[in-house]
Amino acid sequence: MIVRIGPGGDRPLEFAAPPSKSMGHRAVLAAGLATGLSRVYNLGMSQDIKATLGAVRQFGAKVRPTDRFVDIEGRGGFATILRPVDCGESGSTLRFLIPILSLTGQQVEFTGRGRLFGRPMEVYQDIFDSQGLLFAQTPQGITTKGRLAPGEYRVRGDVSSQFISGLLFTLPLLHRASTLEILPPFESRSYVELTLAALRQFGVRADWDPERENTLLVPGGQRYHNREYTVEGDYSQAAFFAVLGAVRGGVTIRGLAPSSSQGDAAILEILERCGAKFTRQGDTVCFEKSPLAATRIDLADCPDLGPILMVLGLFCEGETVIEHAGRLRIKESDRIASMQEELQKFGGKLACEGETVTVQGAPLVMPGRLYGHNDHRVVMALTIAAAAAGYPAELAGAQAVAKSWPEFFAVLQQGGWQIEGEQE
């Protein structure tokens, strides 16, 4: 889909942050693994979440969505997996489910699209190989067979926290206790804490070992308990409009929990260091137009902010330095290369050396046609770049936003921006 972004920003924009996709995945899986009926409120129906809902249906849970909530009735066990598990383009769905569905003992095929099976999977490959289990990967999918055993697990902490979370969902269901050691450098720890929080909400526990750093103790023989759960607002999605508000003003975002464990909540502290002016009352944040100055940003615990922080750098005086950005290369696109290519069309100056990206603040020009690189966060970041700069823009591949936030363009329209779409 091609979207044309016209002039706008002529009226205040106020909206509720969309539901956290990270917490949505975790709530759906925990509810699907529980025995009995769970009710999940404020669950966003993005493509990624639909993939996870489809998967829990396949392993035996009943899923009944309504306008206000989704009922998920788990069976406390697993049905026979009769067909390949379609994970769409969702890395969370795939990496969470691989160890979980090992517990069926069946041969399970995982399918998907885009760059999903080009993303690193060596962590699971090594674990399955070490236990003599089948783990076969092709560009089209992954096939596994065999049940993971309890014991001592050691995983890298610098590839993706999704591997750690997948094991944390699985190990409590084994018959004996396990330990899970995360090897340094341990990045995206906040996502692991989100998983631990979700497990606690559904009656399952894993605790940090007080004597061994970055090691989790996971008792076996546990079970998930059904409950009601409300998904909190998503800081990673709100970040796009937070940057727009800092540059243009007139943006108010509701539903951002002040005590959130989301790593992407760092967006407010980053903006504050850049000189952004905003006020907070409870879960509502109001942004004013502000002169912005460059700062140094550590992306290790909030990698999803990478694309919009590169956009932020364009509007800051001086050189913005974004460290620990290397994992952006193994997302839905190579986000460093994608953003370099597209922001240059605005006259932006971006450079990358090793894992560090630098962005020079400078006057921008009207861009030529932009391309979304089949990456939802790239599409949203480029849209905000055009809206903040006040330039009309044409963006191809805009349908990628449906992966995480199908209503993104509708929210922008509420602020007066003209949005027109057509099929490519």
pLDDT band at 423 (very low <50, low <70, confident <90, very high): confident
pLDDT recorded at residue 317: 98
User: Choosing from 48, 86, 234, 304, which is the catalytic residue?
Assistant: 304
pLDDT recorded at residue 244: 98
Q: Helix (H, G, I), strand (E, B), or coil: what is residue 357?
A: strand
Query: Does the structure show a pLDDT above 90 at 424?
Result: no
Answer positive or negative: Cα dihedral of 79, 82, 87, 88.
Answer: negative
Across 14-24, average pLDDT = 97
Q: Please tell me the distance from the alpha carbon of residue 248 to that of residue 281, in angstroms, as a whole number.
A: 20
Across 41-49, average pLDDT = 97
Reading the block at residue 276, the tokens are 């952004």
% pLDDT > 70, the chain? 100
Query: Does the structure show a pLDDT above 90 at 200?
Result: yes
pLDDT recorded at residue 422: 85
Fold agreement between 2-18+233-422 and 21-230: yes
Q: Give the residues across from 181 on adjacent strands.
A: 154, 215
Query: Does the structure show a pLDDT above 90 at 249?
Result: yes
Reading the block at residue 243, the tokens are 């940057």
pTM of the model: 0.94
**Which residue from 385, 362, 401 is spatially nearest to 307, judged by alpha carbons?**
385
Across 25-32, average pLDDT = 98
Q: Please tell me the distance from the alpha carbon of residue 300 to that of residue 298, in angstroms, as a whole number.
A: 6
Query: Does the structure show a pLDDT above 80 at 56?
Result: yes
Instruction: Determine how many CB atoms are found less than 10 A away from the CB of residue 66.
Output: 8
pLDDT recorded at residue 93: 98
Please list, in sequence order, all residues whose beta carbon lies within 8 angstroms of the beta carbon of residue 353, skipping any fewer than 6 positions away: none
pLDDT recorded at residue 394: 96
What is the assigned CATH class of domain 2-18+233-422? alpha beta
Helical (H) or strand (E) element with 105? none
86 is known as an active-site residue: no
The pLDDT tens digits of the residues spanning 83-109 come to 999 999 999 999 999 999 999 999 999
State the average pLDDT for the chain.
96
- Domain residue ranges of the chain, discontinuous segments joined by +: 2-18+233-422, 21-230
**Which residue from 164, 18, 30, 25 is spatially nearest to 93, judged by alpha carbons?**
25
pLDDT band at 131 (very low <50, low <70, confident <90, very high): very high
Reading the block at residue 379, the tokens are 């599409």
pLDDT recorded at residue 419: 95
Q: Helix (H, G, I), strand (E, B), or coil: what is residue 233?
A: strand
CATH of domain 21-230: 3.65.10.10
Reading the block at residue 132, the tokens are 């003599």
pLDDT recorded at residue 9: 84
Query: Does the structure show a pLDDT above 80 at 297?
Result: yes
Q: Helix (H, G, I), strand (E, B), or coil: what is residue 199?
A: helix
Query: Does the structure show a pLDDT above 90 at 7?
Result: no
| Listed range (32-36, 113-117, 128-132, 171-175) with the worst mean pLDDT | 113-117
Q: Please tell me the distance from the alpha carbon of residue 87 to that of residue 144, in angstroms, as a whole number.
A: 15
Q: Residues in the chain, how many?
A: 424
Instruction: Determine how many CB atoms are found less than 10 A away from the CB of residue 111.
Output: 16
